[in-house]
Structure 1
């Protein structure tokens, strides 16, 4: 093999299989509108390709600067923001949340009943900030469609953009019971939106301004925001919904999307728009120990702490999860402060390394960082739900197959 086909210890011929696989199995058959993929190793982009149409109705091809709804890939950004404030001594992880949100002092745990007539009991202990960062707070999501708590979230439109603000979200949640006593289980939830509220509260800045000043501008991320600016709208992808028969239909038109209008709900759990290049800069800062091109966004030891498995007794997600929804395969994965963390490779049934961390979004976007191999991958598409196909696991097989040294 000639050295020209190797870059950062990766075989470029083997990486090109990614594009072939996506084209043959997803794009040509009409299962997926578009795919933009980036593979980086040892601090450099090794392989990147944009395929398909970012807007099928308008026949606009996906490009490297297409703007995507990254949904829950917002969560690691919010978690880093909150931990920046931790580094400044603004709070401790075992602080009770009600120290900062007094209306949450008397939160109760669900026993029975439907909204608004719940029967509740006191929690075994108060919710802490670490519970929020690790989704062990007892909160939920309306779209989980699993419990009477979820139903109340849907009734009150707590997942949506219907005039909700972070302040009104916190107010509504103060009157609803928790799914379980904090720290006793894991449930994917609005907890990271609450982390976003704490960032605003502790910093005295709106969440969008805080992100811009402390993360986006330092890292040179010019295309990441809660609202798509008018002059960037032509680069904004359409979003699609998976349909029976492996087809898809338009879910959110970029021209009329609420992401294209100013709105009051700055969702730290799922509100950001970004490009693959911008998210790569964020991920590369993490892969480099918290710093990129001289701009440090988080301390090395803080990030090491965030990448640990914070689930009780080092268990994995299936052992403690009560909800069926997540943006990562459960088996062999624990959870840190804002990311899933791989703990058991064989159990996960996907190639990787212990300590690999990352997360995904509802519309199929994903990223992961492998510190052992100094490898990171970012993948963007726009198809809801993310579980429609097993692309994330297939992508791992294709990427790791290209490692040569």
Structure 2
């Protein structure tokens, strides 16, 4: 028993310089690392001009004692959605797309798409919808499309964007467009496909040329090369006993992650660093301007970050952004998040890699957000 306690003390002593060598953000999160409910985190606070603090806690790889670093890479999953929506709004600003244009204007395979009128275990009755789904519907999850296509198996990146979206066109809508909120990767991916068709470029090329590169988001990609994979934080989930963590692959994606035959998935395929996410959010916070250059119009930023779902719906969603009275942001499947607080002019970025996050996950992020509010 004494030997076991001594070993535990020595291990904790060895880890502590990695866990708590920084400031108030790291200090707020270290207790969750020490009790093994969180592997590690990169935390960032920014204002309109600059990053005010970027701190790390814990490990990107627990088994190899590899610490989190400021430039650690993360799969941001659905945190990709606001970035995709911003890319499409560039085309709106150029007058090439209107938010209330029907999807079929750009993607003729959607012409004649039907909606489910009745459904039971033996039959499905289809009918023509009262109206066709629009670009706006795709970006605010009211298109009537399902979460994903049945063709997107075994992983979400199994198909090219064009093929995947063709599958959405062949799938009946689950609800009348504009009548119901249903969180939908299919809708966001369809918006990404519209970017391809209108711009004449593959989505990832347009995204890089018109948004990522101008913002200096040099680590953001659908396909991290091996050098970036070396910086990727491992994903973790609670172990069987619920007393610790075990490493887990990203089951939604196909390996190797650098393989460009994996489909670019606008709804959730991006990898990024905390600093890159901050650059994107800072452009939004500055009304579409980055370092003196305009990326988006103020009107487009307002559309992205204010409620676009009908007031009759409980869900408050902009275009690619989850929105509150004075906030806009998004999270990802492995618990990353970025949040813009317009009233205070602040941005918070919380980067972790956890699948099946336990209850402590919300507590850890809450501790970070509380500490972030005090950063000067």
> CA contact under 8 A between 1:158 and 1:169: conserved in structure 2?
no
Quote how far apart the aligned CAs of 1:230 are. Answer: 2.1
Inter-partner Cα distance in structure 2 for 1:288 and 1:74: 20
| Aligned pairs for 1:14-33 within 5 A | 16-24=23-31, 26-33=32-39
Aligned partners of 2:230, 2:178: CA distance in 1, in Å? 45
For normalisation by structure 1, the TM-score amounts to 0.80
> Given the alignment of the two structures, is residue 59 of structure 1 paired with residue 59 of structure 2, yes or no?
no
Give the match for residue 8 of structure 1.
Answer: none
Q: CA deviation at 1:292?
A: 1.6
Q: Deviations over 1:143-187 (max 9, x none)?
A: xxxxxxxxxx4565286223x111111221122121211100111
CA contact (8 A) 2:43 2:348 kept: yes
Point out where structure 1 has 5 or more consecutive residues left out of the alignment. Answer: 1-14, 143-152, 318-333, 343-353
Are positions 1:250 and 2:232 aligned together? no
Classify 1:302/1:387 alpha carbon distance in 2 versus 1 (closer, same or farther; 3 Å): farther
* Cα distance in 1 between the residues matched to 2:112 and 2:195: 22
Q: How many residues align?
A: 348
Equivalent residues in 2 for 1:164-313, closer than 5 Å: 164-190=159-185, 191-243=187-239, 245=242, 247-252=244-249, 257-313=255-311
Aligned residues of 2:53 and 2:375 also touching (Cα < 8 A):
no
Deviation at residue 375 of structure 1 after TM alignment: 0.6
Distance in structure 1 (CA, Å) of the matches to 2:27 and 2:147: 37
Query: Structure 1 pair 249/358, CA: closer, same or farther in 2 (3 Å)?
Result: same
Q: Does 2:122 align with 1:126?
A: no
The root-mean-square deviation of aligned C-alpha atoms, in Å, is: 2.4
| Equivalent pair of 1:219/1:295 in contact (CA under 8 Å) | no
CA deviation profile, 1:245-275 (whole Å, cap 9, x unmatched): 2533222279x94423222411000000111
3-state DSSP of counterpart to 1:127? coil
What is the CA–CA distance in structure 2 between the aligned matches of 1:384 and 1:300, rounded to whole Å? 36
- Unpaired segments of 5 or more residues in structure 2? 1-21
Contact 1:70 1:361 in 2 (8 A): yes
| Cα offset, 1:66, TM superposition | 0.5
| 1:175-220 deviation digits (Å, cap 9, x = unpaired) | 2121211100111112111111111111111111111111111111
1:108 paired with 2:98, answer no
Deviation at 1:295, TM superposition (A): 3.1
Alignment-derived partner of residue 378 in structure 1: 349
Pairwise CA distance, 1:385: 3.6
**d(CA) in 2 for partners of 1:341 and 1:262?**
33
TM-score normalised by structure 2 residue count: 0.86
Query: Which residue is equivalent to 1:338?
Result: 320
Contact 1:81–1:211 under 8 Å retained in 2: yes
Aligned residues of 1:362 and 1:386 also touching (Cα < 8 A): no
User: Do the aligned partners of 2:43 and 2:368 also contact (CA within 8 Å) in 1?
Assistant: no
- The partner residue of 1:44 within 50, 58, 65 is 50
Shift in alpha-carbon separation, 1:79–1:246, aligned structure 2, 3 A: farther
